[in-house]
Amino acid sequence: MDQDWMKNPALAGIDPAKIALLQNLASQGAGKSQNEMLNFLTGAANTSQQQGLQFTPDEMDLVVEVLKMGKSPQEVARINKMISLFKMMRKR
């Protein structure tokens, strides 16, 4: 995965440990199907909470917006759908 997103100045206020965690998750999640990714993200969220790395809603929104930059409309729609599904799963 291209690591340029991590250098985006908009992310400067986010703890570097959180950015490193996101990069690790992105690498581990590469090539997973949508269903696999939802399960993977749920597990990752639980693990990050256990490690004391909780993202605020604003931080997550910012990271998602940065990741969408330069993506095709189809890729953005896929990201939006996955985020919506993930949020629904987290509410349960």
Q: In residues, how long is the chain?
A: 92
Q: Are 79 and 71 in contact (CB under 8 A)?
A: yes
pLDDT in tens, 44-65: 778 888 888 888 888 888 888 8
What does pTM read for this prediction?
0.62
**Phi, then psi, of 45 in degrees rounded to 5:** -65, -40
Interatomic CA distance for residues 59 and 67, integer angstroms: 12
Average pLDDT over residues 25-42: 75
What pLDDT is attached to residue 25? 78
What is the predicted pLDDT for the residue at 43? Answer: 79
Domains of the chain, residue spans: 32-92
